[in-house]
Amino acid sequence: MRKFVFALVLLLAGATAWAGPKKELHILSANDMHAAIECMPRLGFVADSLRALYPDLLVLSAGDNRSGEPLNDMYEIPAYPMVALMNIIGFNATTLGNHEFDSGQQGLAKLISMSSFPSLCANVQPDAKWNMHVKPYQLYDCGGIKVAVLGAVALSPMGIPESHPMNTTDMKFTAPLATIQQYQFLRQQCDVMLLLSHLGYETDVEFSKELPWVDVIVGGHSHTQLKGGELHNGVFITQNKNRLQCVTHTTITVEDGKVVDRKAENIAIRGQQNENKVIAALVEYFSHNPAFHRVLAQVDTPFECYEELGCMVCDAYKQEGQADVSFQNAGGVRYDKFAVGGFSVADALRLDPFQNEAIELNLTGKELADMLVKCYMNDNKVFPYVGGMKAAYTIDPATRDIKKLVLTDEAGKKLDPKKTYKVVTNSYAVAISPTNRKDAGRGIGKITAQLVMSYLEHQGHVSYQGVRRLTEKK
Amino acid sequence: MKLKVNRTTIEVFEGAEIRQALLTYLARRRMSLKFIDQLEVFDVWGHEIDQGAPVSQYSQVKLKFKN
C-alpha cells in the first residue's frame, strides 16, 4: 500500500512538473461601431479598467468602424475622429468591414496610415498605387501567450465588399474561406489562433466546420447579439449588436501552448456611466468641428415653405444622382424656412438628418406613379416632393386618397407610362412604398445629405422662391 | 434581395438594412410605420439583431413586440 501511495505521489508530482502554468489571454472586442463616437469615452474607460487588471489585454475591432455619424464621416479627413479615438483607446488591430471602403481607396489608405494599429484583412489585395497598408495577419505576444490574428471581410455576390463599386476598383478580393485556409501555417507559430471576421454570424458558424485549427472567431457584420460567446464545432464565436451597445470581454486559458478554456461576457457600453475624461474631451472637440459651419452655397432669395426646400433636395438627387427624375418623401424635409445668406454643412444635415441612403431605380412611368401614390399613402398622406417633373393629383375630400395623378416633365409633357426613367430617391421612401415594380433598386453609396451638399457646392448660389411642382385638386 | 419577415417574403433594394425591410413589411401589412421602434428582431437561431444589420446577412427574421 505504501509503495502504491508513494508511486501515486510521484506520478502526480511528475504530472504537475510537466504541465506548464496556466495563462490567461484577455480580449476586449467591439464590432460594427459605426462611428458611435459618443460611446468612445465609456469604451475607453472599460479598456483602461481591464488593462489595469490585465496589462496584456488585446483590444480588437471586427470592422465597420465608420459610417453612421456625420461628425465622423464628414470630418475634413472623413472618418478620422474614429481613428483618433481608437488610437487613444489603444486598439491593437481592426479588420476591414465593408463600410471601411466607403472612404474610397485614397481615403482608406490615409486612414490606415494614421492608425496606430494594423488593419488586418487577408482577402483584400489593394493595387500598389493606393499605397494601402493592409496586412493579412499579425502576431502578438500577450504576456508569453503567442496570438495570431487573421482578418477577413465578407464579399457580396458581385465579389466585392458591400460598398459602392467605385470604392473598390483596382483592389483584388478573394473568396474568404479559401483565403483563410492558406494561413493554416500560423497554427504552428502561435498558442491562440484568432480570426477577426467581418463575415457575419451565419458564415462564422459555417466556416467553423472547416476551420478546426482556429480557436476563436471575433465576429462582426450581421450585428448579432450573442450572450458572451458560443462554441460551434469547437470554435468559440463572439459578436455584438452595432453602435457599441455592448462589447465582449473574452478570457482564453492556455496551458502548454494549448487552449484549454474559453469564456466570454458582454459589457454594456451605450448609456452607461464612468468615462475616460481625456477621450470625452476629444469627442467634445470633434463635436464642435468648425468644418460643419463651412458655407456650401449662398441662398439668394429666402426659402418660405417646405415645398421650396423639398424642390431643392429633389434637384440635388436628380443632378448628383444623374437621374431623369427624383422624389423625396415630404416628412424627410425637416424645416420650412431659410433666410438669405450662407447655407452650411450643418444646415444641410439639419434639413436631412436621417442618414438615409440615396437609392436609384429604373422605373417605367406607370411604376413611378404607383410608387409616388404608395409613398403618399404611407407618409401621412402628404405628396412627395419631386425633381425633373411636376405632379398634379386629385384627392378624394372624404378619404384624402388620390383618385388621379398626372406626371409631366419640366416642359409640361406627360411622362410616358411605358418608358423607363432613372429615378433617385431615398431609402426611406423606397422602403415605405412597396409596389409591383421590376427593379427593387440599389444604393448608390452615398447618404442623401451628401447629395444635397455636393449640389449646393456645385451651384454656388440657389434661389427657389416661388418654385412649385405639386398641384392638388379636389 | 428577398427576406422572409415572420411568414411574409418581401423584396428590398440592394444594400438595404433590416430597418428598411421592416418598414416595407409594415407597409405591406398596412400596419402603422410607428410600430418600427416597438419591434425586436431575431435571427433563426433566436439571437437578437439590430435594425442596422444588413439584410444580405439574413434569409429570414422574426419579429416580436417589445415588452
Cell 410605420, located at residue:
B33
In chain B, % of residues over pLDDT 70:
100
Element (H, E) at A429: helix A427-431
What is the pLDDT, as a whole number, of residue A474? 80
- Does B37 reach chain A within 8 Å, measured CB to CB? no
Q: Which domain holds residue B16?
A: 2-65
Q: What radius of gyration, in Å, describes the C-alpha atoms of chain B?
A: 11
Between chains, do B58 and A242 touch, taking CB under 8 Å as contact?
A: no
> Contact at 8 Å (CB) between A63 and A102?
no
Q: How many domains does chain B have?
A: 1
Chain B interface test: which of A163, A199, A206, A222 (most B C-beta within 10 Å)? A222
ipTM score:
0.92
Q: Rounded to the nearest 10 degrees, what angle do helices A448-459 and A306-320 cross at?
A: 90
Q: Which of A32, A225, A243 has its CB closest to that of B48?
A: A225
Q: How confident is the model at residue B67 (pLDDT cuts 50, 70, 90)?
A: confident
> Contact at 8 Å (CB) between A64 and A33?
yes
Cβ neighbours for A433, distance < 8 A, ≥ 6 positions apart: A371, A372, A374, A375, A378, B27
Pairing status of strand A137-142 against strand A145-153: antiparallel
Give which of A254, A255, A253, A262 is closest to A232, Cα–Cα. A262
- Does B49 reach chain A within 8 Å, measured CB to CB? yes
Retrieve residue B33's grid coordinates: 410605420
Give which of A60, A206, A66 is closest to A138, Cα–Cα. A60
User: Which amino acid makes up residue A172?
Assistant: K
Partner residues linked to A153 by β-bridges: A198
Residue B56: closest C-alpha in chain A:
A156
Retrieve residue A77's grid coordinates: 479627413
Give which of A167, A164, A94, A80 is closest to A133, Cα–Cα. A94
Q: Is A210 exposed, middle or buried (0-12, 13-18, 19+ CB in 10 A)?
A: middle
Q: How many CB pairs under 8 A join A and B?
A: 95
Partner residues linked to A142 by β-bridges: A145
Cβ neighbours for A2, distance < 8 A, ≥ 6 positions apart: none
In angstroms, the CA B8 to CA B35 distance is 17
Q: Rounded to the nearest 10 degrees, what angle do helices A277-287 and A80-89 cross at?
A: 170
- CATH topology assigned to domain A20-287: Purple Acid Phosphatase; chain A, domain 2 (3.60.21)
Between chains, do A222 and B53 touch, taking CB under 8 Å as contact?
A: yes
Cβ neighbours for A311, distance < 8 A, ≥ 6 positions apart: A385, A386, A387, A464, A467, A469
Contacts of B28 in chain A (CB under 8 A): 434
Measured in whole angstroms, the distance separating CA A38 from the mean position of its chain's CA atoms is 16
Q: How confident is the model at residue B42 (pLDDT cuts 50, 70, 90)?
A: very high
3-state SS class at A281:
helix
CA distance B61 to chain A (A): 12
End-to-end CA distance of chain A: 106
- Does B3 reach chain A within 8 Å, measured CB to CB? no
In angstroms, the CA A347 to CA A303 distance is 13
- Does B31 reach chain A within 8 Å, measured CB to CB? no
Cβ neighbours for A342, distance < 8 A, ≥ 6 positions apart: A295, A296, A297, A298, A299
Sign, CA torsion A426/A432/A436/A440? positive
Note down pLDDT in tens along chain A; length 474 residues: 555 555 555 444 544 445 578 999 999 999 999 999 999 999 999 999 999 999 999 999 999 999 999 899 988 899 999 999 999 999 999 999 999 999 999 999 999 999 999 999 999 999 999 999 999 999 999 999 999 999 999 999 999 999 888 999 999 999 999 999 999 999 999 999 999 999 999 999 999 999 999 999 999 999 999 999 999 999 999 999 999 999 999 999 999 999 999 999 999 999 889 999 999 999 999 998 888 889 999 999 999 999 999 999 999 999 999 999 999 999 999 999 999 999 999 999 999 998 899 999 999 999 999 999 999 999 999 999 999 999 999 999 999 999 999 999 999 999 999 999 999 999 999 999 999 999 999 999 899 999 999 999 999 999 999 999 999 988
Q: How far is CA A261 from CA A196, A214, A231, A251, in A?
A: 19, 14, 11, 8
- Does B40 reach chain A within 8 Å, measured CB to CB? no
Q: Identify the CATH number of the domain in which residue B49 sits.
A: 3.10.20.90
DSSP-assigned letters across all residues of B1-67? -EEEETTEEEE--BT-BHHHHHHHHHHHTT--GGGGGGEEEE-TTS-EE-TTSBGGG-SEEEEEE--
What is the pLDDT, as a whole number, of residue A16? 46
Sign, CA torsion A174/A427/A38/B65? negative
In angstroms, the CA A140 to CA A138 distance is 7
DSSP-assigned letters across all residues of A80-119? HHHHHHHHHHT--EEEPPGGGGGGHHHHHHHHHHH-SS-E
Q: Which of B11, B27, B48 has its CB closest to that of A241?
A: B48
Sign, CA torsion A300/A302/A303/A308? negative
Q: Is A454 exposed, middle or buried (0-12, 13-18, 19+ CB in 10 A)?
A: middle
Cell 479559401, located at residue:
A178
pTM: 0.89
In angstroms, the CA A416 to CA A414 distance is 6
- Does B12 reach chain A within 8 Å, measured CB to CB? yes
- Does A295 reach chain B within 8 Å, measured CB to CB? no
Domain spanning A294-473: which superfamily? 5'-Nucleotidase, C-terminal domain (3.90.780.10)
In angstroms, the CA A391 to CA B22 distance is 29
